[in-house]
Structure 1
């Protein structure tokens, strides 16, 4: 039998052992409340910041700084991710924690984002060129859909409207589009009067608004593209958020009016009359962040006589990764080339 003194000591030790456990439990509870409160506060602050930026920029119509533009892009991306997570959480509660909006790949679940949107800038009266491209590499109907679903590559012909809105030229394009369903028609662009630079700018802006892709590519309608080589090359650059890739050059600025590549504003390019570094116009690629930058600032971005020079000028001063890729030099079709001019 235990003595009364020994029983008292055992009771005291048991009480002492419960005290640390109680403190640990209380500390864990307060810590959980604090973390939850901070997360809620941070979420509210992000929502407020996004609303304020949208109000200040007037939905992208006001002139804003480069830094503010990149902040807007980052905030909107985070807001989209937050919305997506909230939707997935709600769906998970009802569907056993597996969202139907996710695609199974090798036993894991991940959202599929298109790899690249290719815009082929075309004109009225170029139906033969478009048909040749459809047969050679773009495909049509089920074949075009297969490229989109299987490779994540979206291809569209890009064209504006006739100066005489609704005339036979517009009707021909509408009729062709009903048959092929492969046009991105720029209703706010007039063919002929504004030229390729304005059309290229509007393509990137509208494409970024329409498709949330990793990359956006501009191509002329006399260029053939190796889809598989393009996809393989772009897949190696997914880690570059502000990518500008193409056959880079710094050509001569021509001030003679009768020259094919005449630049009316030649005097803006310095005494040496040499352009800044930019990608050749047959084909070039930009990443999602740069396409959204163009979309937000479309009303204030300057265009020059040529779309390749214009695109290069938009990225001066930005933290952009210029990638000179010989595979985008379309003048010759070499092994592994991505494009070829015809």
Structure 2
């Protein structure tokens, strides 16, 4: 019978095999670490490439922009504009002997100095008498309208969308009227209907901010008469305030009854009290340039509620905005110093 080898004779072989296993394990661990690190680096490079490619194709430059980022971008753009405009003003001042009140600026549709305000007068089909009444009082016509734009820096346009059956008699009537007056802003991509008014206000501010360079952008109804001299005086103190929202501020009841005139389909979003947040009355309100540009930049992501004034208020409530409750823009009655009045 063969005897077992003493334990001391078996130990070197065991130790040798253990050392081989440890070396192999270390090699595998190193290779795995290198492989994982390589894959992580490759994935990181792929993500960077994909993000860059998406940005290049969409032209956005960033895949996600916060509200604060937007406002900072607008502020930077404003600073660059002001620097360029100041250089132009210095040259003009030397030639004319004075510095213009408003910054010099030209764009594709309006040549001359920066406007003080662009005012959109919201109107609709079948409202010709209201428009004519305004033209006889404060809007003016033809050469007088152009003169007012140049001297007061205020551009006025009747804002209207298109008929549901685009190109029908309703659209042709507006086009014929515009040929005579040349005072319309016709929103080709907007349906003119009561349930579309919130989308209309968004498209107006977007279009106005993209088209005309102005200090302020305003919306007014076509049954409101406005004192433009008083408006100019009221706006002057706010020229250096970048984000102002001016109007007859109010809060009101949220109506959940679908039969009510002011029914709000999203009534449940406003809490148990069913009261709207603070916002300007839709009769007449004003936004500074940065806020109109904010609406333009973010138009595809802004929620439109049932009413235009609520919609605008909701877009601004989360921003660093100065809400100015201006009693002179409460148009229910005409009083001393009032800027507007409702015409029944």
TM-score range, shorter chain: 0.7 to 0.9
- Write out aligned runs for 1:1-342 (5 A): 58=59, 64-81=65-82, 88=88, 98-99=91-92, 104=96, 107-108=98-99, 111=104, 112-192=113-193, 194-342=195-343
SS of the residue 1:115 aligns to: strand
SS of the residue 2:201 aligns to: helix
Q: Distance in 1 between matches of 2:123 and 2:61?
A: 27
Count of aligned pairs between the two proteins: 281
Q: Distance in 1 between matches of 2:219 and 2:127?
A: 17
**Shift of residue 224 of structure 1?**
0.8
Per-residue displacement from partner, 1:103-144 (whole Å, max 9, x unpaired)? 84x633553321110000111111111111110111111221
Q: Distance in 2 between matches of 1:276 and 1:320?
A: 14
Cα distance 1:269–1:219, how it changes in 2: closer, same or farther (>3 A)?
same
**Shift of residue 59 of structure 1?**
5.2
Q: TM-score, normalised by structure 1?
A: 0.76
Cα distance 1:72–1:138, how it changes in 2: closer, same or farther (>3 A)?
same
Per-residue displacement from partner, 1:258-315 (whole Å, max 9, x unpaired)? 2221111110000000100000010000000000000001111111111111110000
Is 1:61–1:297's contact at 8 Å kept on the other side of the alignment?
A: no
Larger mean CA deviation between 293-302 and 139-148 belongs to: 139-148
**Shift of residue 71 of structure 1?**
2.3
How much is the aligned-residue C-alpha RMSD, in angstroms? 2.7
Per-residue displacement from partner, 1:58-94 (whole Å, max 9, x unpaired)? 45997631012112212333343455578x49xxxxx
Cα distance 1:56–1:222, how it changes in 2: closer, same or farther (>3 A)?
farther
Q: TM-score, normalised by structure 2?
A: 0.75
Q: Distance in 1 between matches of 2:331 and 2:61?
A: 35
Is 1:61–1:296's contact at 8 Å kept on the other side of the alignment?
A: no
Per-residue displacement from partner, 1:306-325 (whole Å, max 9, x unpaired)? 11111100001111000001
Q: Distance in 1 between matches of 2:154 and 2:62?
A: 30
Is 1:60–1:297's contact at 8 Å kept on the other side of the alignment?
A: no
SS of the residue 2:239 aligns to: coil
Cα distance 1:59–1:204, how it changes in 2: closer, same or farther (>3 A)?
farther
The gaps in structure 1 that reach 5 residues or longer are 1-51, 90-96
Is 2:92–2:99's contact at 8 Å kept on the other side of the alignment?
A: no
